[in-house]
Amino acid sequence: MAKKKTTFNVSKSENFSEWFSEILQKAEITDLRYGVKGFVVIRPWGALIIDKMYRLYEDELRAKGHELSILPTIIPEENFNKEASHIDGFAPEVFWLDKKQGDSRLAMRPTSETAYYEMFALWIRSYRDLPLKMYQRGSVFRNETKATRPLLRGREFQWIETHNAFATKEDAEAQAQEDIGITEKLMHKVFGVPFFPMKRPKWDTFPGAVYTIGSDSLMPDGKIIQQPSTHLIKQSFPKSFGVKFVDKDEGEKTPWTTCYGPAMSRILASVIGMHGDDSGLVLPYALAPVQVVIVPFTGEGVDKAVLDIEKKLREKGVSVKVDDSDKRPGEKFFHWEMKGVPFRIEVGEKELERGEVSVFIRDNKEKVGVDMKSLARTIGKMGVEYDARLLAKADLFFEDKVIDCSDKVSIGKAIGDEKIARFSFCSVEADGEACAGVIEKEFVAEVRGTRADLDEKASGKCPICGKKNKVVVYAGKSY
């Protein structure tokens, strides 16, 4: 047990970045030693968490009417070329195959608008075909020019992309709001990762979109991490693919389209960063591949009791692992704390005599006695409380991070203090880009846009150019 102090070389609060690199390795989430730069291996523990995320997201998307589909990984260059801003945005990052098809190069998809729209042109005929809401899960590929970081920015990452077509702009915008609702329901409420839905400045809008709503979360070092984005796509984009429909009024129209892209690997980065501590991962009960680990001690009747507990928990749908390996108890505790298993049940003769097992709770490290008769029901209840605790703690951390500022000095101070500066600003249209550039240059911080869920009123004059303020923006350092 003496070894426990050296779990990490640095504590999370001292050096988050180093702690994060270490935990990925020690909790066996990723392996960075694979032989292609920027491509990482996701090990079983990480893959199982991602799998749980996928299932939760897919269930939610299906409940909201999105249909699963599987589109090819390869997209012809000519599809990209149809929307100039889209190809301009993605061209530097595309992996191309070495063989062409005719004159067209072949790309590994960086995102699949240009694959879906080719099919939408074939599938959509009439307003009766709308809304058409589809999704797929899988990898996308981006030859990142920025430095890659495991889970946060890789050359291949695991995501879901929805692609949707609507008869009206209103329907499309309602979809964008529904998407924010899904991020709120899952990433915030279930995974415990709070965020602000931010409408991006014009200069930071997705290539081919009218507007982009990104969800900005925070890492413990105060840096912003962009989580799922929704884009309201310019009509010119589907139009360039010949996507059109005959409306109720018999007029031929172009549908409005949207897309939404939750990246499982990146959300996992937020979950690890937000909840982990100096003993390892702290996983939400709803995401933990193993929710309860049982550590049996030698003693009469223990084996039978453990089998019984395991069976009862399984019947309640709890994911249980019995660690009957020949490791010492201390090693087992250390291992499962590192893995972030929410509850550890210790069973020995002493516990059997009392009719009560010891339950160690991962997040607050408390140990409580639980009556064996009602154990399965109690664990379920404790799981709910556990997730509520993680959520409350994350919310508290998040709320504390936004500082109202009114001038350059206060903006600089907030950002220097690893906070998010909120301030009135001249513009998030093209005419505001120069002022944002000043903030970026002086404070190495980005103007992230305006709240998509609130109508915040601007006041005063721009802290950079002195023109009348039109919007309230948030700025901070980011990943």
Residue 139 binds a second copy (CB under 8 A): yes
The two structure tokens encoding residue 57:
């997201």
Q: What is the CA radius of gyration of the chain?
A: 25
Residue 39 binds a second copy (CB under 8 A): yes
Residues 79, 70: Cα–Cα separation, whole Å: 18
- Position among 80, 90, 117, 141 found at the interface with a second copy (CB under 8 A): 141
Residue 356 binds a second copy (CB under 8 A): no
Residue 193 and residue 271 in contact, taking contact as beta carbons nearer than 8 Å: yes
Binding flags for a second copy, 158-197, as an x/- string (CB under 8 A): x---------------------------------------
Residue 138 binds a second copy (CB under 8 A): yes
Residue 246 binds a second copy (CB under 8 A): no
Residue 108 binds a second copy (CB under 8 A): yes
- Position among 17, 22, 25, 47 found at the interface with a second copy (CB under 8 A): 47
Q: Least distance from C-beta 33 to a second copy, angstroms?
A: 6
- Position among 18, 25, 60, 71 found at the interface with a second copy (CB under 8 A): 71
SS3 of residue 433 by DSSP:
helix
Residue 95 binds a second copy (CB under 8 A): yes
Instruction: Point out which span in 32-40, 314-322, 348-356, 445-453 binds a second copy (CB under 8 A).
Output: 32-40
Element (H, E) at 408: helix 408-416
- Position among 106, 213, 224, 294 found at the interface with a second copy (CB under 8 A): 106
Binding flags for a second copy, 433-472, as an x/- string (CB under 8 A): ----------------------------------------
Subset of residues 74 to 93 that bind a second copy, contact rule: CB under 8 A: 74-76, 78-79
Return the exposure string of 69-99: e unless at least 16 CB atoms fall within 10 Å of the residue's CB, then b. Answer: eebeeebbbebbebbeebbebbeeebeeeee
Residue 227 and residue 270 in contact, taking contact as beta carbons nearer than 8 Å: yes
Residues 36, 33: Cα–Cα separation, whole Å: 9
CA dist list (Å): 119 to 85, 171, 241, 257, 261: 21, 21, 9, 13, 19
Residue identified by tokens 């998040």 is 398
The two structure tokens encoding residue 289:
């591949």
Residues 106, 42: Cα–Cα separation, whole Å: 27
Instruction: Point out which span in 2-10, 153-161, 244-252, 422-430 binds a second copy (CB under 8 A).
Output: 153-161
Residue 33 binds a second copy (CB under 8 A): yes
Q: Which is nearer to a second copy, 292 or 405 (CB)?
A: 292
Instruction: Point out which span in 42-50, 215-223, 349-357, 378-386 binds a second copy (CB under 8 A).
Output: 42-50
- Position among 3, 5, 99, 248 found at the interface with a second copy (CB under 8 A): 99
Residue 75 and residue 110 in contact, taking contact as beta carbons nearer than 8 Å: no
- Position among 18, 25, 26, 48 found at the interface with a second copy (CB under 8 A): 48
Q: Least distance from C-beta 411 to a second copy, angstroms?
A: 40
Instruction: Point out which span in 7-15, 132-140, 301-309, 354-362 binds a second copy (CB under 8 A).
Output: 132-140
Which residue blocks in 210-357 are alpha helix, DSSP H?
Answer: 236-240, 264-275, 302-315, 329-338, 349-354
Total site size for a second copy, rule CB under 8 A: 52
Q: Which is nearer to a second copy, 241 or 360 (CB)?
A: 241
Residue 115 binds a second copy (CB under 8 A): yes
Q: Least distance from C-beta 338 to a second copy, angstroms?
A: 17
- Position among 84, 91, 119, 403 found at the interface with a second copy (CB under 8 A): 119
Q: Which is nearer to a second copy, 50 or 375 (CB)?
A: 50
324 Cβ contact partners less than 8 Å away, ≥ 6 residues apart: 296, 306
Element (H, E) at 383: helix 375-399
Other Cβ atoms within 10 Å of 437 Cβ, number: 13
Beta-bridge partner residues of 371 = 356
Residues 281, 27: Cα–Cα separation, whole Å: 7
Residues 317, 100: Cα–Cα separation, whole Å: 50
Largest interatomic CA distance in the chain:
80
Q: Least distance from C-beta 395 to a second copy, angstroms?
A: 30
Residue 42 binds a second copy (CB under 8 A): yes
Q: Footprint of a second copy on this chain (CB under 8 A)?
A: 31, 33-37, 39-44, 46-48, 50-51, 67-76, 78-79, 95-99, 101, 105-106, 108, 115, 118-119, 122-123, 134, 136, 138-139, 141, 143, 155-156, 158
